[in-house]
Structure 1
Amino acid sequence: MRPAASMFGTHQPGDSIWHRCGVGWKYLVVLALTLVALALQHPWATTASLVLTVAALLSTRLPARVTLAVPWSLVALLAVLAGFQLVTGQPDAAFVVPGNVLQAVLAARLLICTTPASVLVDALVRAADRVPFIDGERLGLAVGIMLRSVPFLAGAFYDVRDAARARGLERHWVARLSPVVVRAVGFAQATGEALAARGLGDGSADDAPFVRRAR
C-alpha cells in the first residue's frame, strides 16, 4: 500500500451504516469528533474522542488493517511530539497533542474509507457554492488536483528511493531527489496543459483563485 493511502486510507465498498449515511452527516460527525478534542485540550476529551472514533471505524465492518493500522511514519511523528512535550515539562500535553493528531487521522479515515472521492469533492463544491464570492467549481477542481497530486508525488518519492537503494545510492540525496523533481515538474506541466485545453487557468494573474467571477 502506498504511504499516502496507508496514512489516510482509500475508499472501500461496504454496506455498513457509515457507507449508507449521507456525506454531509459524515462531515459533521468527523468535525464533531475532532474539534471537541482540539478545543478542550484535555486528556479525557482526547481519550473520549479516540474511543468514539475507533468504535465508529470498527462499526464500518472494514478490515482493521485498513481502518486502524498506523504507518511507521506517523508513529515516529507522534513519538517526536510526545517527547518534545515531555522535555518541556508538559506531561498532559505529551498525551493530548499526539493523541489529537492520531484521532484526526483516524477520523479522516472514517470519511475517506466509506465515501468515494468524487462524492466528497461534490459535497465540498455544493457547500462552497453557498458561500458568497466563492466559486465552488474552482475550489472543487483545486481539491481534485490536490487529491491526485499528493499520492502521485508520494509514490514518486518512494519509487525513486527503492530504485536508489537497489543501486546502492540510498545515501546519495541528489540521486534520490532529482528524479522526483523531474516527475513533479512533468506532472505539473501535464496538469496545466489539461486545464488549458479545457479553457481553465487562463484568468488574469491578479484574480483570486476561488473567487466567483461576475456573470
Structure 2
Amino acid sequence: MREPGLFSAHVVGDSWLHRAPFGAKLIGVIAVGLLPWWVHSAVPLAAVLAALLLIAVTAGVPLSRLLRSLRSLAPVLVVLGAFQWWAVGPAYAVRVVLGIATAFVAAGLLTATTPVTTMLDAVVRGARPASRWVDPEVVALTLAVVLRSVPWVAGAFAVVRESARARGLERDPRALVVPTVVQVVAYGRATGEALAARGLTDPAERA
C-alpha cells in the first residue's frame, strides 16, 4: 500500500541534518509551525519554504518525496485557501496556505532525517519527569502506533480513491468514505488485538 511522503521511511544518510540533535530539529519544526502567528506577510513564509527545500537538497532528502507529500495535501490546501479567501481575503488565504505547507515540509524533513527509534527514545526521556502520572513507555507506544497508523490510513484512502476513479465514482462521497471507514475500523481492531496479545495494553501484564 502506498504511503505518503511525510511519514514514509527514514532516509538513510550522514548529512549535517541527520547528525543534528533531535531536540534541535523538533524546536525548529515548532518554530516553523508558529511562524504564521508571528508574521503578517506571505513573503517571510515563502522565504522559509524555499530555505527548507534548500536544506532538503543539502541533507540529501529527495525533493520528490517532499513534493509528493505536498501533492497529497493539495486538496485540503485548495479548499482551505478558497474558504479563507472568501471569508477574510486573498492575502490571509495565501498566508494560511503557505504556513501549512511550510510546516508540512519541516515535519517531513524531521521524519526523513530522524529514525523512528530516536524519536521514540526522546519521547520516553521527555516523559520520565511525569512518570508519576503517565507511563513513558505507553506514551512512546502510542506515538509508534500513530506513526504507523497515519500512513496506513492515508494509503487506504488512496487505494479506495483509485478504485472509485476506475469505476467512475470519484465524485461520490459514499464510494470514498464507506470503504475507507471499514478498512480503518478493521485495522484498528487488528492493531488492538495484536497489542493485547502481547500484553501491551494492560499495565499489570507489562509490570
Q: TM-score range by the shorter chain?
A: 0.7 to 0.9
Q: Find the counterpart in structure 1 of residue 81 from structure 2.
A: 82
Structure 1 gaps, min length 5: 204-214
8 A contact 2:6–2:66 mirrored in 1: no
Q: Find the counterpart in structure 2 of residue 153 from structure 1.
A: 153
* TM-score with structure 1 setting the length: 0.78
The verdict on how the C-alpha distance between 1:71 and 1:40 changes in structure 2, with shifts beyond 3 A counting, is: closer
8 A contact 2:25–2:110 mirrored in 1: yes
Q: Find the counterpart in structure 2 of residue 212 from structure 1.
A: none
- Point out the structure with the larger helix share: 2
Q: What is the SS of the residue equivalent to 1:13?
A: coil
**Aligned-partner residue type, residue 163 of structure 1:** S
8 A contact 2:22–2:118 mirrored in 1: yes
Q: What is the SS of the residue equivalent to 2:103?
A: helix
Q: Percent identity?
A: 40
| Aligned counterparts, 1:14-163, within 5 A | 14-35=13-34, 37-43=35-41, 44-69=43-68, 71-131=70-130, 133-163=133-163
Moved more, 66-75 or 168-177: 168-177
**Aligned-partner residue type, residue 62 of structure 1:** V
Structure 2 gaps, min length 5: none
* Greater RCO structure (CA 8 Å; 6+ sep): 2
Q: CA deviation at 1:138?
A: 1.0
> Alignment length, in residue pairs?
203
Q: What is the SS of the residue equivalent to 2:99?
A: helix
Moved more, 186-195 or 4-13: 4-13
The two structures, once aligned, show a CA RMSD in angstroms of 2.9
The verdict on how the C-alpha distance between 1:190 and 1:9 changes in structure 2, with shifts beyond 3 A counting, is: closer
Quote the Cα distance in structure 1 between the aligned partners of 2:167 and 2:83: 36
8 A contact 1:11–1:117 mirrored in 2: yes
For residues 22-74 of structure 1, give each alpha carbon's deviation from its aligned partner in whole angstroms, at most 9, with x where no partner exists. Answer: 21221122222332x13314214423432332332222122221234454442
The verdict on how the C-alpha distance between 1:101 and 1:129 changes in structure 2, with shifts beyond 3 A counting, is: same
* TM-score with structure 2 setting the length: 0.80
Moved over 6 A (4+): none
